[in-house]
Structure 1
Amino acid sequence: MGLFLVALGLLAIYLVHFYFIRRRQLPPGPFPLPFIGNTYSFAHTPIDTCVQKWKDEYGDIMTIWMGHTPIVTVHDSKVIYDTFVKDGDAYAGRAQQRWNEIFRPGHTGLIFSEGPLWRDNRRFALQVFRNLGLGRNIMQERVLDDAIALIDYTKKEIKAGTTEFNFFDELDISIGSIINSITFGYRFSRDDRTEFIKAKKIAVQQVKFGGSILYRTMEEHYEYFRYLPFFKGTYKQIVDHKTEFTDFLGGQVATHRKNIDLESDEEPTDYVEAYLKHQHKLDKEGVKDHPFSETQLYSALLDLWVAGQETTATTLAWMVIYIIQNPEVQKKCQAELDEFIGDRIATLDDKVNLNYVNATVAEAQRLCNLVPINVPHRTLRDVEIMGHKIPKHTVILNQVSTVLYDERYFPGAKTFKPERFLDDKGKFYAPPELMPFSVGKRACLGEGLARLELFLFTANLLNQFKFGEVPGKPITGERMVAGTTAPAPWVCSITARH
């Protein structure tokens, strides 16, 4: 009886603290349940739909609870720029997500790290990307190699009589080859896809966990939940996943160590080689506790692979779906391509003339609205937003998904309309509300590469092929929401234009 009363007293203290102290310090939001917060809402409704509904009810700033953790979400474009951009240093922290104690020990990597570790490694990654040709024709050639390989493969399949294409798979391996060549120095084979399937599984699992209710509920106290029914299966999946990606990445790094000369002055040809040489240089100089550890390498590779493959391939898949569902858009793109390109390969030099193609890419990014909930930031000092005082160390995010569907900025937001990104002279322009890569100091590191890939693949695929539905197999465009939003399985018909 005594223990019961103690437990009851502790529960009462928790509930008072939870409902009457913590909640009152933050902007209003949907009613959370103890321990699981608002995650119960995601059982039958996708998370982005829930957030949109709550935003409509509570306004441009609100609080939602992921398990025991409150997250302040900001939805107004101007407020987002005034805070995350103009006052970016105050919002440059990262929420210290507990699962990263397993996935990314020490909160390492490029996405979830913060402070000097994040700054030094982000700067290093951007420098490696530039050295590998980003911003110059060298990177364009890398991307075009895989775009042309996809075009050649598709033409060969058409000549062989193929009438039904699972084109998402082909986009997947093409984009996967690009990021793999940048990180590990080699491309995947379409003839033997074993290696690609192994790497792709890692990316899919990472994204899938982000959309799991059990995963989000366990976040704050997984060490206790792991013993409970229902939850222990999720914990095992996470541990097994950690083993899988560590083995895969470890094998790649070990191969590099065997084959490269760390003392060589030759320019590295991929990210791992650059990292190992830089690490060796710092070790040789006796620099202690530098931020280029083996753990940091594994975590950075995981982040580069997941962000560099999954997001771009999925966006391109949505682009193909949208132009099939909107044949007049496909015709306008191809008329523009016929005028300026003909049957040759389109390059970045052509971008200035392909206004409608650029608008189609932008609209595909906006409407697919790839990330249902952004990676959370953390305030590094007390701030005030829209009259709300937000304490230091509060988890906060700029909710891009609601901005991209906001009728204030994009009237008829659920319709596919590339013309919204053309001015009265037919020139492409991108308003500040178009923020698929987020904004501020924590904006997507791979934005430059992704923009290059999206333009070159879209322009060249639409120039070379006409896409359509397979008779009797309509494309539903159903949204499968997890860590990112992928389309339900689909197939299409493809015919050559030239």
Structure 2
Amino acid sequence: MDLVTVLLSIVVILFLANVFRNQKQGKYKNFPPGPKPLPILGNILMLDMSKPHNTFYQLSKEYGSIFSIHIGMTKMVILCGYDTIKDALINNAEVFSERPHSPLFAKTSKGHGIVFANGENWKVMRRFTLSTLRDYGMGKKSIENKITEEAECLVQKLRSYEGKPFGDFTSIIGAVTNIIVAILLSKRYDYEDPTILRLMHLVNENVKLLGSPWVRLYNSFPGLMDRLPGPHKTIFKNTEEYQGFIRRTFTKYKTELDVNDQRNLIDTFLFKQQEGKQESTLYYHNDNLTVLVGDLFGAGMETTSTTLRWSILLMMKYPKIQTKVQNEIDKVIGSAQVQMEHRKQLPYTDAVVHEIQRFGDIAPNTVPHVASQDVTFKGYFIPKGTTILPVLHSIHMDEEYFEKPKEFYPEHFLDSEGKFKKNEAFIPFSIGKRSCAGETLAKMEMFLFFTTLVQHFTFKAPPGAILDLTPAFGSTNSPKPYEVCAVPRS
């Protein structure tokens, strides 16, 4: 049987499967409406495959805050708007807190770790993660001191450029990475260390490739895509190398483990592993440790470093806002070291930090959820097993909560007297049981790194540079490559 015959057979089988599935799902009344799908392809051709959240946001204007869409033969329910997403993830958390089966992530994580795990395994790993992050300083003075020390190292690195243009941001990514590395491994890497540079490359490349249409095709047709070359193969290769480093690291740590002197998250996990309880065997095994450390390393590195790159670009783009931040810092802190206790005294700076996160829109979609049981939600019937995708982009662009959503406008977080005001629709870390476990750490890092950098430097665009605020291609919204002059203020 030649290749053409095989491919034709696969297409016919997929077509028949799609017809059968649509007939089966057709019996459900009040399923959320949506655009009519094509056989096999679904609605793929109408999507902005590089930034699908843009298409979802536009479709919400036609179909409302809850609608359906087909990605290949996978039928999904899209949730838009703060009220609808909050209702799903908070008020109906028991129904919408599981993860759907994803062929790509099933291959890379196999249901282990925290991000793509389900059931009791996820509950145990999340409890362990939250308690251990708190034990090793999340939200406390000890981790604040580590961040301020790292921020000073970053300041010295940027000073070495002497105000000349540079476009290599590995030092900024490395500074953020060192914070999560301290918690996971009790280490600090120099910014030029080949080990940390390689790990950062693997994570950054995978984050970009996860936004590729090839990944969506893989999740729709894994059997076929396993036989074809493409970016999905690079993701698997990078993940294997990344996880190999983690396994080698904790294998070494196991030989050095002192149960009376647990130094980091890996030590604590290994101690749990040796407790001899039933839970130790069921959940505290090497596969869970490998994927958990990978999840935390990637999340701890990517979002905060990307937000910092947005912050520098936005300060260049809006120099008057940068000056206003610097004036407030000079008045309140002067040349003293920035501390978290200063945040309440720096309302404008705090507002700018929040607006950077809203405008940057780093994670426009949450990681998909799934309906764990049949449910009627907002008047629509959603059957068990349906993939649910909350679109955070739709919230951060909502004029009901943000007066000028398409603009960079710090006043979104200031009242009429210039005092900082919270906005309930500001949820860059998502909400509910699946919200980011490291949210408290990320907020502390963002405030301390940003305020320290703007205290010491004025960020200016090189002569003739065009400052493009359009996000780069990738699964997250990161700024396109740019150059900057970090001009020392003293």
TM-score range normalised by the length of the shorter chain = over 0.9
| 2:89 paired residue number | 84
8 Å CA contact 1:36, 1:217 repeated in 2: no
String of CA shifts for 1:91-122, please: whole Å, max 9, x gaps: 111112111232112x1111111211111111
Task: Check the 8 A contact 2:374/2:383 in 1, yes or no.
Answer: yes
Alignment counterpart, residue 270 of structure 1, candidates 264, 273, 282: 264
In structure 2, distance between residues paired with 1:76 and 1:154? 40
Match of 1:253 among 250, 253, 257: 250
What is aligned with 1:148? 152
Q: 2: CA distance between counterparts of 1:196 and 1:325?
A: 31
Number of matched pairs: 482
The answer to whether the Cα contact below 8 Å between 1:168 and 1:313 also exists between their aligned partners in 2 is: no
Q: 1:38 to 1:182 in 2, by over 3 A?
A: farther
The answer to whether residue 120 in structure 2 is matched with residue 111 in structure 1 is: no
1:393 matched to 2:369? The reply is: no
From the superposition, tell whether residues 484 and 6 of structure 1 become closer, same or farther in structure 2 (CA, over 3 Å): closer
- Conserved? CA contact 2:274–2:280, under 8 Å: no
Asked whether the equivalents of residues 39 and 216 of structure 1 are also in contact (C-alpha less than 8 Å), the reply is no
Distance 2:45 2:190 in 1: 43
Structure 1 residue identity aligned to 2:291: S
Call closer, same or farther: CA 1:347–1:51 in 2, change over 3 Å: same
Change (3 A) 1:139 1:93: same
Single out whichever of 307-316 and 481-490 deviates more from structure 2: 481-490
Residue in structure 1 matched with residue 129 of structure 2 by the alignment: 125
- The yes-or-no answer on 1:232 pairing with 2:229 is yes
Superposed displacement of residue 385, structure 1: 2.2
Residue among 449, 457, 467 paired with 2:449: 457
Cα 1:172–1:23 change in 2 (3 A) is farther
Equivalent residues in 2 for 1:6-405 (5 A)?
13-22=16-25, 25=28, 26-42=31-47, 46-105=51-110, 107-158=111-162, 162-166=163-167, 168-190=169-191, 192-227=192-227, 231-261=228-258, 264-266=259-261, 268-281=262-275, 284-285=276-277, 289-405=281-397
Q: Output the amino acid matched with 2:165.
A: E
CA distance in 2, matches of 1:296, 1:439: 24
The structure-2 alpha-carbon separation of the partners of 1:20 and 1:104, relative to structure 1 and needing over 3 Å to count, comes to same
1:80–1:8 distance in 2 versus 1, CA, 3 Å: closer
CA contact (8 A) 2:368 2:389 kept: yes
Listed as ranges, the gaps of 5+ residues in structure 2 are: 1-5
Structure-1 separation of matches of 2:195 and 2:14: 51
Counterpart code for 1:122: R
- Contact persistence 2:472–2:480 (CA under 8 A): yes
Task: Go from structure 1 to structure 2 and tell me whether the alpha carbon gap of 1:66 and 1:289 turns closer, same or farther (over 3 Å shift).
Answer: farther
Q: Per-residue CA shift, 1:386-410, capped at 9, x if unaligned?
A: 2111122221132111111122222
Q: 1:409 to 1:257 in 2, by over 3 A?
A: same
> Contact between 2:350 and 2:447, CA under 8 Å: does it hold in 1?
yes
Name the structure 2 match of 1:435.
427
Taking a change above 3 Å as real, the CA distance of residues 150 and 285 of structure 1, as seen in their structure-2 partners, is same
What secondary structure does 2:121 align onto?
Answer: helix
* Cα separation, 2, equivalents of 1:11 and 1:239: 25
For residue 123 of structure 2, give the secondary structure of its aligned residue in structure 1.
Answer: helix
Task: Give the secondary-structure state (helix, strand or coil) at the position aligned to 1:100.
Answer: helix
**1:424/1:9 CA distance change after superposition, 3 Å:** closer
Q: Distance in 2 between matches of 1:78 and 1:196?
A: 41
Distance apart, 1:20 and its partner CA: 4.8
SS in 2 for 1:423: coil
CA distance in 1, matches of 2:11, 2:308: 54
Q: Take 2:296 and 2:11, find their aligned partners in 1: how far apart are those partners?
A: 47
SS in 1 for 2:472: strand
TM (norm. structure 2) is: 0.92
Structure 1 residue 476: deviation in Å? 1.7
Q: Is the 8 A contact 2:15 2:40 kept in 1?
A: no
Contact 1:324–1:468 (CA<8 Å) still a contact in 2?
A: yes
Q: Spell out, residue by residue over 1:117-143, the C-alpha distance to the aligned partner (whole angstroms, 9 max, x if none).
A: 111111111111111111210010111
Consecutive unaligned residues of structure 1, counting only runs of 5 or more, are none
**C-alpha separation in 1, matches of 2:463 and 2:437:** 41
**Amino acid across the alignment from 2:273:** Q
Q: How far does residue 384 in structure 1 lie from its aligned partner after superposition? A: 2.1
Structure 1 residues 44 and 99: CA distance shift in structure 2, 3 A: closer
Aligned equivalents of 1:8, 1:290: Cα separation in 2: 41
Structure 1-normalised TM-score? Answer: 0.91
SS of 1:487 mapped into structure 2: coil
SS in 1 for 2:425: coil
Q: Which amino acid aligns with 1:396?
A: I
